[in-house]
Amino acid sequence: MAVRPVAELDITPALAARLVSEQHPDLAGLPVRLVTSGWDNAVLRLGDDLAIRMPRRARAAQLLLNEQRWLPHLAQVLAGAGHVGLPLPTRIGVPSPEYPWAWSIVPWFAGQSAVTVSPHDRAAFAEPLSDALARLHVPAPDDAPVNTVRGVPLATRDAAVRERLATGPIPDADRLAALWEDLARTPHWAGPPLWLHGDVHPGNLVVDGGRLEALVDFGDVTSGDPATDLATAWLTFDAEGRRRFRHRMDALRGHDADTWRRARGWALCMGTSLAAHSDDSPEYAELGSHTLRQVLEG
């Protein structure tokens, strides 16, 4: 069984409440409840309007520091991107004897994760998501966070993808392997390193009805090839939504065919990861299956 990494600390509402009380006493007494515990962070709701993001393993601690350092800058980059919100830290938590890593208090966005919405209905978010990504994808500074698995040349993910296809219970593995071999040969991104979210999939989109409310979880924020983020065309959408997303992105950014080929390759890479490591999450296992079906469709 392949599952998400094991938490290195037991993050409970009681622990979070104590940290809030000690470091932000004006917020003490607000109810705290656990909302989700993902690969890297636990998210707890704090009162009605706030949330707490706490790394659940050491590897994630630096990712949260990247969010704290760069989200204020990215909020300026994305200014004007409709009403799409960002999890901009409103308070910073520091390590303590009871908890060894930094943590953040961020806005709570009303709505639901788009992973709970059908791919057909997610087409409504194609244009606002493309508008936000088009604003985000501008040249990044030299000291942007380094990420060894996002924004890099697609071929660097070859061993990982081949291993997942060879050892995981992934349908159509032979067809996917042949497609991967073709896509991984696509010429590399030749432009400047652009700002990237790094993990644009339905689980990181907060939606409310037909509105895209927020783009969250910037732990993988980095710079590099925009194809990494454009993979959401296959992760998030069905054929119609993908058509709308690509049409809008091309109108805004004019991506060439090689960029979209790499994006399809990135979707294959991420889809195999979801399919191989989501046995403990039916929603994300289905997202992996959806992604690979869409990748095979084209």
Q: Supply the CATH number for residue 78's domain.
A: 3.30.200.20
CA-to-CA separations, 14 to 6, 32, 51, 229, in angstroms, rounded: 20, 8, 14, 36
Residue 273 and residue 254 share a domain = yes
The answer to whether residue 167 is domain-embedded is yes
Range of the domain at 231: 112-297
Residue 51 and residue 174 share a domain = no
- Token pair listed for 251: 């109108």
The answer to whether residue 8 is domain-embedded is no
DSSP 3-state of 222: strand
The answer to whether residue 68 is domain-embedded is yes
The answer to whether residue 260 is domain-embedded is yes
DSSP 3-state of 52: strand
The answer to whether residue 198 is domain-embedded is yes
For the chain, the domain total comes to 2
The answer to whether residue 76 is domain-embedded is yes
Report how far residue 263's alpha carbon sits from residue 217's, in angstroms, rounded to the nearest whole number: 20
Taking each helix axis from N to C end, the angle separating 257-276 and 173-183, rounded to the nearest 10 degrees, works out to: 140
The pTM (predicted TM-score) of the whole model is 0.95
Residue 55 and residue 187 share a domain = no
Neighbours of 179 (CB within 10 A): 18
Residue 236 CA to chain centroid, in angstroms? 11
Percent of the chain whose pLDDT exceeds 90: 90
CA-to-CA separations, 103 to 14, 106, 146, 147, in angstroms, rounded: 15, 10, 20, 20
Residue 169 and residue 282 share a domain = yes
Report how far residue 244's alpha carbon sits from residue 239's, in angstroms, rounded to the nearest whole number: 9
Residue 239 and residue 145 share a domain = yes
Given 59, 86, 107, the domain boundary residue is 107
pLDDT on residue 108: 97
pLDDT on residue 1: 39
Residue 37 and residue 96 share a domain = yes
Residue 235 and residue 97 share a domain = no
Q: What is the DSSP string of 113-151?
A: EGGGS-HHHHGGGHHHHHHHHHHH-SBPPTTSPP-TTSS
Residue 133 and residue 26 share a domain = no
Report how far residue 133's alpha carbon sits from residue 127's, in angstroms, rounded to the nearest whole number: 10
The answer to whether residue 4 is domain-embedded is no
Query: What are the tens digits of pLDDT across the range 225-282?
Result: 999 999 999 999 999 999 999 999 999 999 999 999 999 999 999 999 999 877 778 8
2 pLDDT higher than 60? no
